Structure 1
Amino acid sequence: MYSIFNAISTYEFRRIGTCTSTMEAWDILQVTHEGTNAVKVSKLQMLTSRFETIRMDDHETFGEFHAKLMDIVNSSFNLGEPISNSKVVRKILRSRPERFRAKVTAIEESKDVDSLKIDELVGSLQTFEMTLVSPRKAKGIALKTIKEESLSSESEDDEKMSKG
Protein backbone atom coordinates (compact mmCIF):
# COMPACT_ATOMS: atom_id res chain seq x y z
CA MET A 1 0.00 0.00 0.00
CA TYR A 2 2.86 2.34 0.80
CA SER A 3 4.06 2.28 -2.84
CA ILE A 4 0.60 3.23 -4.12
CA PHE A 5 0.24 6.02 -1.55
CA ASN A 6 3.59 7.51 -2.63
CA ALA A 7 2.67 7.40 -6.32
CA ILE A 8 -0.68 9.20 -6.16
CA SER A 9 -1.86 12.73 -5.57
CA THR A 10 -3.54 13.94 -2.37
CA TYR A 11 -6.84 14.02 -4.24
CA GLU A 12 -6.53 10.35 -5.22
CA PHE A 13 -5.35 9.43 -1.72
CA ARG A 14 -8.69 10.59 -0.37
CA ARG A 15 -10.38 7.92 -2.49
CA ILE A 16 -8.27 5.02 -1.24
CA GLY A 17 -7.03 6.19 2.17
CA THR A 18 -9.38 3.85 4.04
CA CYS A 19 -8.71 0.75 1.91
CA THR A 20 -7.42 -2.24 3.82
CA SER A 21 -5.79 -4.09 0.92
CA THR A 22 -3.67 -3.17 -2.05
CA MET A 23 -6.11 -4.93 -4.38
CA GLU A 24 -9.04 -2.88 -3.08
CA ALA A 25 -7.09 0.37 -3.61
CA TRP A 26 -5.98 -0.73 -7.08
CA ASP A 27 -9.55 -1.60 -8.12
CA ILE A 28 -10.83 1.81 -6.99
CA LEU A 29 -8.06 3.62 -8.88
CA GLN A 30 -8.63 1.50 -11.97
CA VAL A 31 -12.37 2.24 -12.07
CA THR A 32 -11.64 5.92 -11.39
CA HIS A 33 -9.21 6.27 -14.30
CA GLU A 34 -10.46 3.69 -16.80
CA GLY A 35 -14.09 3.36 -15.78
CA THR A 36 -15.99 0.13 -15.40
CA ASN A 37 -15.58 -2.62 -17.96
CA ALA A 38 -18.63 -1.32 -19.86
CA VAL A 39 -17.15 2.19 -19.95
CA LYS A 40 -13.82 0.79 -21.13
CA VAL A 41 -15.52 -1.12 -23.97
CA SER A 42 -17.44 2.01 -24.94
CA LYS A 43 -14.24 4.11 -24.98
CA LEU A 44 -12.50 1.48 -27.12
CA GLN A 45 -15.40 1.47 -29.60
CA MET A 46 -15.24 5.26 -29.82
CA LEU A 47 -11.46 5.15 -30.36
CA THR A 48 -11.83 2.47 -33.04
CA SER A 49 -14.39 4.62 -34.83
CA ARG A 50 -12.15 7.70 -34.59
CA PHE A 51 -9.20 5.66 -35.90
CA GLU A 52 -11.20 4.41 -38.87
CA THR A 53 -12.58 7.83 -39.83
CA ILE A 54 -9.60 10.13 -39.20
CA ARG A 55 -8.18 11.76 -42.34
CA MET A 56 -5.67 14.52 -42.86
CA ASP A 57 -7.36 17.72 -44.00
CA ASP A 58 -5.90 19.77 -46.87
CA HIS A 59 -5.14 22.74 -44.58
CA GLU A 60 -3.59 20.54 -41.89
CA THR A 61 0.14 19.90 -41.52
CA PHE A 62 1.41 16.37 -41.26
CA GLY A 63 2.59 17.07 -37.69
CA GLU A 64 -0.92 18.06 -36.62
CA PHE A 65 -2.44 14.97 -38.22
CA HIS A 66 0.23 12.69 -36.76
CA ALA A 67 -0.37 14.10 -33.25
CA LYS A 68 -4.14 13.46 -33.50
CA LEU A 69 -3.60 9.93 -34.82
CA MET A 70 -1.07 9.07 -32.11
CA ASP A 71 -3.44 10.37 -29.41
CA ILE A 72 -5.94 7.76 -30.59
CA VAL A 73 -3.28 5.02 -30.80
CA ASN A 74 -1.92 5.82 -27.31
CA SER A 75 -5.39 6.01 -25.75
CA SER A 76 -6.25 2.62 -27.21
CA PHE A 77 -2.97 1.19 -25.89
CA ASN A 78 -3.65 2.61 -22.42
CA LEU A 79 -7.03 0.86 -22.40
CA GLY A 80 -5.37 -2.47 -23.16
CA GLU A 81 -6.01 -2.61 -26.93
CA PRO A 82 -2.79 -1.78 -28.78
CA ILE A 83 -3.05 -0.96 -32.48
CA SER A 84 -0.36 -2.73 -34.49
CA ASN A 85 2.48 -0.83 -36.13
CA SER A 86 1.50 -2.02 -39.61
CA LYS A 87 -2.12 -0.94 -39.10
CA VAL A 88 -0.98 2.57 -38.10
CA VAL A 89 1.42 2.76 -41.08
CA ARG A 90 -1.35 1.70 -43.48
CA LYS A 91 -3.72 4.24 -41.91
CA ILE A 92 -1.19 7.05 -42.37
CA LEU A 93 -0.67 6.10 -46.01
CA ARG A 94 -4.44 5.87 -46.68
CA SER A 95 -5.31 9.12 -44.96
CA ARG A 96 -3.11 11.53 -46.91
CA PRO A 97 -4.53 14.35 -49.03
CA GLU A 98 -3.97 14.41 -52.79
CA ARG A 99 -0.76 16.46 -52.57
CA PHE A 100 0.96 13.42 -50.99
CA ARG A 101 -0.24 10.91 -53.61
CA ALA A 102 3.08 10.60 -55.48
CA LYS A 103 5.09 10.13 -52.27
CA VAL A 104 2.66 7.55 -50.88
CA THR A 105 2.84 5.57 -54.13
CA ALA A 106 6.64 5.69 -54.08
CA ILE A 107 6.73 4.45 -50.47
CA GLU A 108 4.26 1.64 -51.18
CA GLU A 109 6.29 0.49 -54.20
CA SER A 110 9.75 0.74 -52.65
CA LYS A 111 9.22 -0.39 -49.05
CA ASP A 112 7.66 -3.35 -47.27
CA VAL A 113 4.73 -1.56 -45.64
CA ASP A 114 4.20 -4.38 -43.11
CA SER A 115 7.70 -3.96 -41.65
CA LEU A 116 7.98 -0.17 -42.09
CA LYS A 117 8.40 1.63 -38.76
CA ILE A 118 6.05 4.50 -37.95
CA ASP A 119 8.97 6.86 -37.18
CA GLU A 120 10.62 6.06 -40.51
CA LEU A 121 7.39 6.82 -42.39
CA VAL A 122 6.78 9.99 -40.38
CA GLY A 123 10.29 11.27 -41.15
CA SER A 124 9.88 10.56 -44.85
CA LEU A 125 6.49 12.30 -45.06
CA GLN A 126 7.63 15.32 -43.03
CA THR A 127 10.64 15.77 -45.31
CA PHE A 128 8.38 15.54 -48.35
CA GLU A 129 5.96 18.06 -46.82
CA MET A 130 8.81 20.53 -46.31
CA THR A 131 9.63 20.36 -50.01
CA LEU A 132 5.97 21.03 -50.81
CA VAL A 133 5.73 24.06 -48.52
CA SER A 134 8.95 25.79 -49.62
CA PRO A 135 8.07 26.28 -53.32
CA ARG A 136 4.59 27.55 -52.42
CA LYS A 137 6.00 30.24 -50.12
CA ALA A 138 8.71 31.21 -52.61
CA LYS A 139 6.18 31.38 -55.43
CA GLY A 140 3.87 33.54 -53.31
CA ILE A 141 6.67 35.97 -52.51
CA ALA A 142 7.76 36.11 -56.17
CA LEU A 143 4.21 36.81 -57.32
CA LYS A 144 3.81 39.48 -54.66
CA THR A 145 7.03 41.18 -55.77
CA ILE A 146 6.02 41.07 -59.44
CA LYS A 147 2.59 42.45 -58.57
CA GLU A 148 4.09 45.29 -56.52
CA GLU A 149 6.52 46.15 -59.33
CA SER A 150 3.68 46.08 -61.82
CA LEU A 151 1.55 48.36 -59.67
CA SER A 152 4.39 50.85 -59.12
CA SER A 153 5.21 51.00 -62.84
CA GLU A 154 1.52 51.53 -63.65
CA SER A 155 1.32 54.43 -61.21
CA GLU A 156 4.49 55.95 -62.75
CA ASP A 157 2.94 55.62 -66.21
CA ASP A 158 -0.24 57.29 -64.96
CA GLU A 159 1.79 60.18 -63.53
CA LYS A 160 3.67 60.66 -66.81
CA MET A 161 0.43 60.67 -68.82
CA SER A 162 -1.24 63.19 -66.52
CA LYS A 163 1.80 65.52 -66.71
CA GLY A 164 2.44 65.06 -70.38
Structure 2
Amino acid sequence: MEAWDILQVTHEGTNAVKVSKLQMLTSRFETIRMDDHETFGEFHAKLMDIVNSSFNLGEPISNSKVVRKILRSLPERFRAKVTAIEESKDVDSLKIDELVGSLQTFEMTLVSPRKAKGIALKAIKEESLSSESEDDEKMSEG
Protein backbone atom coordinates (compact mmCIF):
# COMPACT_ATOMS: atom_id res chain seq x y z
CA MET A 1 0.00 0.00 0.00
CA GLU A 2 2.84 2.37 0.87
CA ALA A 3 4.47 1.74 -2.53
CA TRP A 4 1.18 2.52 -4.26
CA ASP A 5 0.87 5.82 -2.38
CA ILE A 6 4.44 6.77 -3.36
CA LEU A 7 3.75 5.94 -7.03
CA GLN A 8 0.49 7.88 -6.95
CA VAL A 9 2.09 11.00 -5.44
CA THR A 10 5.02 10.74 -7.87
CA HIS A 11 2.72 10.41 -10.88
CA GLU A 12 -0.14 12.75 -9.89
CA GLY A 13 1.49 14.97 -7.28
CA THR A 14 -0.05 15.88 -3.97
CA ASN A 15 -3.76 16.62 -3.70
CA ALA A 16 -3.06 20.37 -3.96
CA VAL A 17 -1.08 19.84 -7.17
CA LYS A 18 -3.85 17.63 -8.53
CA VAL A 19 -6.49 20.29 -7.81
CA SER A 20 -4.31 22.93 -9.44
CA LYS A 21 -3.80 20.77 -12.55
CA LEU A 22 -7.55 20.15 -12.78
CA GLN A 23 -8.29 23.87 -12.52
CA MET A 24 -5.79 24.57 -15.29
CA LEU A 25 -7.32 21.84 -17.49
CA THR A 26 -10.83 23.16 -16.84
CA SER A 27 -9.73 26.63 -17.85
CA ARG A 28 -8.05 25.30 -21.02
CA PHE A 29 -11.18 23.27 -21.84
CA GLU A 30 -13.42 26.32 -21.45
CA THR A 31 -11.24 28.64 -23.54
CA ILE A 32 -10.03 26.38 -26.35
CA ARG A 33 -11.28 27.34 -29.82
CA MET A 34 -10.38 26.12 -33.26
CA ASP A 35 -8.36 28.76 -35.13
CA ASP A 36 -9.17 29.62 -38.75
CA HIS A 37 -5.77 28.36 -39.98
CA GLU A 38 -6.02 25.12 -37.97
CA THR A 39 -7.30 21.79 -39.33
CA PHE A 40 -10.03 19.99 -37.47
CA GLY A 41 -7.60 17.12 -36.75
CA GLU A 42 -5.18 19.49 -35.00
CA PHE A 43 -7.96 21.03 -32.92
CA HIS A 44 -9.38 17.60 -32.03
CA ALA A 45 -5.96 16.38 -30.88
CA LYS A 46 -5.52 19.40 -28.57
CA LEU A 47 -9.02 19.02 -27.14
CA MET A 48 -8.65 15.29 -26.53
CA ASP A 49 -5.32 15.90 -24.79
CA ILE A 50 -7.19 18.07 -22.29
CA VAL A 51 -10.03 15.53 -21.95
CA ASN A 52 -7.61 12.62 -21.43
CA SER A 53 -5.49 14.54 -18.92
CA SER A 54 -8.59 15.37 -16.91
CA PHE A 55 -9.68 11.71 -17.01
CA ASN A 56 -6.22 10.62 -15.82
CA LEU A 57 -6.54 12.95 -12.83
CA GLY A 58 -9.83 11.33 -11.87
CA GLU A 59 -12.21 13.95 -13.31
CA PRO A 60 -13.68 12.61 -16.55
CA ILE A 61 -15.45 15.07 -18.85
CA SER A 62 -18.75 13.70 -20.12
CA ASN A 63 -19.21 12.72 -23.75
CA SER A 64 -22.06 15.20 -24.26
CA LYS A 65 -20.00 18.04 -22.78
CA VAL A 66 -17.15 17.29 -25.23
CA VAL A 67 -19.57 17.08 -28.19
CA ARG A 68 -21.15 20.41 -27.27
CA LYS A 69 -17.71 21.97 -26.79
CA ILE A 70 -16.60 20.85 -30.26
CA LEU A 71 -19.75 22.25 -31.87
CA ARG A 72 -19.34 25.61 -30.07
CA SER A 73 -15.63 25.92 -30.83
CA LEU A 74 -15.58 25.58 -34.60
CA PRO A 75 -14.85 28.54 -36.91
CA GLU A 76 -17.36 30.09 -39.29
CA ARG A 77 -16.54 27.75 -42.20
CA PHE A 78 -18.16 24.90 -40.21
CA ARG A 79 -21.33 26.86 -39.32
CA ALA A 80 -23.58 25.17 -41.90
CA LYS A 81 -22.47 21.69 -40.84
CA VAL A 82 -22.90 22.48 -37.13
CA THR A 83 -26.44 23.72 -37.77
CA ALA A 84 -27.26 20.59 -39.77
CA ILE A 85 -25.91 18.32 -37.01
CA GLU A 86 -27.77 20.19 -34.26
CA GLU A 87 -31.05 20.00 -36.17
CA SER A 88 -30.79 16.40 -37.31
CA LYS A 89 -29.25 14.63 -34.32
CA ASP A 90 -29.69 14.39 -30.57
CA VAL A 91 -26.49 16.14 -29.50
CA ASP A 92 -26.62 14.58 -26.00
CA SER A 93 -26.48 11.03 -27.38
CA LEU A 94 -24.10 11.77 -30.26
CA LYS A 95 -20.79 9.90 -29.94
CA ILE A 96 -17.56 11.89 -30.20
CA ASP A 97 -16.15 9.55 -32.87
CA GLU A 98 -19.29 9.93 -34.99
CA LEU A 99 -19.10 13.73 -34.75
CA VAL A 100 -15.36 13.77 -35.50
CA GLY A 101 -15.83 11.58 -38.59
CA SER A 102 -18.62 13.78 -39.86
CA LEU A 103 -16.63 16.99 -39.35
CA GLN A 104 -13.46 15.57 -40.93
CA THR A 105 -15.43 14.47 -43.99
CA PHE A 106 -17.02 17.90 -44.23
CA GLU A 107 -13.62 19.60 -43.93
CA MET A 108 -12.26 17.48 -46.80
CA THR A 109 -15.11 18.64 -49.05
CA LEU A 110 -14.35 22.26 -48.11
CA VAL A 111 -10.65 22.07 -48.94
CA SER A 112 -10.36 20.00 -52.11
CA PRO A 113 -12.89 21.69 -54.44
CA ARG A 114 -11.37 25.11 -53.70
CA LYS A 115 -7.90 23.97 -54.76
CA ALA A 116 -9.17 22.17 -57.85
CA LYS A 117 -11.25 25.16 -58.97
CA GLY A 118 -8.33 27.53 -58.54
CA ILE A 119 -6.05 25.38 -60.66
CA ALA A 120 -8.70 24.75 -63.33
CA LEU A 121 -9.60 28.41 -63.59
CA LYS A 122 -5.98 29.42 -63.79
CA ALA A 123 -5.28 26.93 -66.59
CA ILE A 124 -8.34 28.02 -68.56
CA LYS A 125 -7.47 31.68 -68.10
CA GLU A 126 -3.89 31.17 -69.32
CA GLU A 127 -5.12 29.16 -72.29
CA SER A 128 -7.70 31.78 -73.27
CA LEU A 129 -5.15 34.57 -72.95
CA SER A 130 -2.68 32.83 -75.24
CA SER A 131 -5.36 32.06 -77.86
CA GLU A 132 -6.56 35.70 -77.73
CA SER A 133 -3.06 36.98 -78.39
CA GLU A 134 -2.71 34.55 -81.33
CA ASP A 135 -6.02 35.81 -82.73
CA ASP A 136 -4.78 39.39 -82.34
CA GLU A 137 -1.58 38.53 -84.25
CA LYS A 138 -3.55 36.87 -87.07
CA MET A 139 -5.86 39.90 -87.34
CA SER A 140 -2.96 42.36 -87.49
CA GLU A 141 -1.18 40.25 -90.16
CA GLY A 142 -4.24 39.75 -92.34
Q: TM-score, normalised by structure 2?
A: 0.88
Name 1:90's counterpart in structure 2. 68
User: How far does residue 119 in structure 1 lie from its aligned partner after superposition?
Assistant: 0.7
Q: Percent identity?
A: 98
User: How far does residue 39 in structure 1 lie from its aligned partner after superposition?
Assistant: 0.5
Give the direction of change, closer, same or farther, for the CA distance of 1:158–1:40 in structure 2 (3 Å limit).
farther
Q: Distance in 2 between matches of 1:150 and 1:37?
A: 71
Q: Give the SS at the match of 2:94.
A: coil
Name 1:55's counterpart in structure 2. 33
User: How far does residue 139 in structure 1 lie from its aligned partner after superposition?
Assistant: 1.5
User: How far does residue 144 in structure 1 lie from its aligned partner after superposition?
Assistant: 3.0
User: How far does residue 28 in structure 1 lie from its aligned partner after superposition?
Assistant: 1.2
Deviations 1:39-91 (A, max 9, x none): 10010000000000111111111111111100000000000000000000000
**Which ranges in structure 1 are unaligned for 5 or more consecutive residues?**
1-22
Q: TM-score, normalised by structure 1?
A: 0.77
User: How far does residue 146 in structure 1 lie from its aligned partner after superposition?
Assistant: 3.4
User: How far does residue 25 in structure 1 lie from its aligned partner after superposition?
Assistant: 1.1
Q: Give the SS at the match of 1:94.
A: helix
Deviates more, 1:27-36 or 1:83-92: 27-36
Q: Distance in 2 between matches of 1:120 and 1:162?
A: 64
**Which ranges in structure 2 are unaligned for 5 or more consecutive residues?**
none
Give the direction of change, closer, same or farther, for the CA distance of 1:151–1:38 in structure 2 (3 Å limit).
farther
Higher relative contact order (CA 8 A, sep 6+): 2
Q: Which has the larger radius of gyration?
A: 1
Deviations 1:18-42 (A, max 9, x none): xxxxx11111111111111111001
RMSD: 2.2
Q: Distance in 2 between matches of 1:163 and 1:24?
A: 99
Q: Distance in 1 between matches of 2:6 and 2:139?
A: 86
